[in-house]
Amino acid sequence: MDLIPLPHRTERAEGFFELGDGFGIEAGPGTEGTARWLRATLGAATGFALPPKKGDEYDVLHLSVRSGLEAEEYRLVVAPHGVHVQGGSPAGVFWGAQTMLQLLGPDAFRRAPLPGRTWRLPLTEIRDAPRFRWRGVMLDVARHFMPKDGVLRYLDLLAAHKLNVFHFHLTDDQGWRVEIRKYPRLTEVGSWRARTKFGHRASPLWEEKPHGGHYTQDDIREIVAYAAERHITVVPEIDVPGHSQAAIAAYPELGNTDVVDTAALSVWDTWGINPNVLAPTDNTLRFYEGVFEEVLELFPSEFIHVGGDECPKDQWRQSPAAQERIRELGLKDEDELQAWFIGHFDSWLTARGRRLIGWDEILEGGLAKGAAVSSWRGYAGGVAAARAGHDVVMCPEQQVYLDHRQDAGADEPVPIGFVRTLEDVYRFEPVPAELTPDEARHVLGTQANLWTEVMEDRARVDYQAFPRLAAFAEVAWSGLPAPAERDFAGFERRLAAHYGRLDALGVAYRPPTGPRPWQRRPGVPGRPIDGPPPNR
């Protein structure tokens, strides 16, 4: 039946159930959102009204929340006279409905009915549940802004693959993307740069036009609500204390004014690790408390991501004010100063019922007990965090950074990093083998990351993400065997049908034969790295 991600158990019977104009939905308590979503999506593809129906009628899709099932577990039964989708929670029902949509064929993902199309489901019973509670995708909209409609579309793509966490990377050196009413210059100044490096940071090419944009607070509310209807949690990232030049360009007092002329800084127009970081002052802490106060109003997520990665310490070493703060706090060095900075916001978020998560550099200099770690520099940070009792999301750069190139061919557009093929992603294992069972329980799940330095538009993001994101979704959802024992050939066979779904959804994926002519970027330098990525 070519389902992706692969269900836990499937039993097929002879025959089909055919949907017709009279097909309707019985939505039990807690399933009204899934019924509404089906009328909007399946209704658009089929032209059927999908009216409310009672359980004793024929041609009914019965949606129900049932005790005895785990929260995201579902049971889908296609019988000769009707269809049943049961879930342990509304989320489970929704994932079951997504599977039903796949069973109907690729045209079920279109936005208008095709003439002469018939709709039928194979008689079957599927029992399924996810392996991990955190099945995430990080989208960087700071380097290249993605307008709101593109973000909503990506939420639909996540939902279609049963991914349930959207890590929204909203701020960086190259742009500030969320409206903060207390500090209007963050978007008035910080959301626009004068030009953009085209290709890797060593490239001589520039796009000589302004680039930018931001989401209003109502845009954010709409995105969060849209995600919630699809049982996706939006985790915002506000980067501190590094990756902050856009904020400093808007409010120069946030930078190390005793080292550099921060008033002369603009929003950064190139890529890499920026030396201009936040000053460790009380003024900076109060400023970002004001930012996070508004962020908490917009995002109800348990976790708030604070970045914490790639923060060069050179300005702090040169800054008399930073050195005085180190002495005043009785700290050993600049690493402990960053830990103090992160620790402040960990306590601040905890006092407000939230949890801090950050990239694995936040382990350096000590980490507050309640904080969680996104392990990106390989497995080592995740292993260290889990052994220290911290929750972990595994997203190692060498495995699931989807901005890395997919092939070694000369036609790959702007080749970055190691070759990470579809099969490489399919054989990725999120739980490090060296963890004990107790330590492994701290692995909340896994996440694929899309950094957009060389992804200038939606089509480029599609190309880098797909089809590898489909392989990642199966790793995150399905209880697959050990990496070497996984049936990649079977996955490829199912993926051949899945390409039809992606086509219907308008996804500009990388074809298995290589990039189409319009997907190439001839002459734009990248930074390919030869050899296999280190497993560390």
Q: Is there a catalytic annotation at residue 498? A: no
CB-based contacts of 533, cutoff 8 Å, min separation 6: 397, 398, 399, 417, 418, 420
Residue 137 pairs in a beta bridge with: 166, 448
Alpha helices in 351-443 (DSSP H): 380-387, 397-400, 422-426, 437-440
Helix (H, G, I), strand (E, B) or coil at 61: strand
Q: How far apart are CA 150 and CA 38, in angstroms?
A: 21
d(CA 362, CA 305): 11
Task: Tell me, yes or no, if 172 is annotated catalytic.
Answer: yes
SS3 330: coil
Q: CB of 70 within 8 A of CB of 129?
A: yes
CA distance 94 to 144: 31
Give the C-alpha separation, 85 to 76, whole Å. 5
Catalytic residue among 73, 172, 361, 439: 172
- Give the closest residue to 7 by CA, choosing from 109, 65, 81, 92: 92
Show the tokens assigned to 240. Answer: 């501190």
Residue 429 appears among annotated catalytic residues: no
Is the CB of residue 124 less than 8 Å from the CB of residue 434?
no
Tokens describing residue 461: 């993001």
Q: Which of 53, 60, 65, 57 is nearest to 29 (CA)?
A: 65
Q: Which pair of structure tokens corresponds to residue 333?
A: 């060095």
Exposure b/e, 481-518, CB count within 10 A at least 16 = b: eeeeebeeeebbebbeebbebbebbebbbbeeeebeee
Give the pair of three-digit tokens for residue 267.
Answer: 């929003």
Radius of gyration of the chain (CA): 24
Of 231, 224, 311, 233, nearest in space to 275 by CA:
311
Among candidate residues 222, 269, 294, 310, the one labeled active-site is 310
Report CA torsion sign: 317, 320, 322, 326. Answer: positive
Write down the catalytic residue from 211, 243, 404, 442: 243
Q: How many C-beta atoms surround the C-beta of residue 406 within 10 A?
A: 22
Catalytically active residues are 172, 243, 310
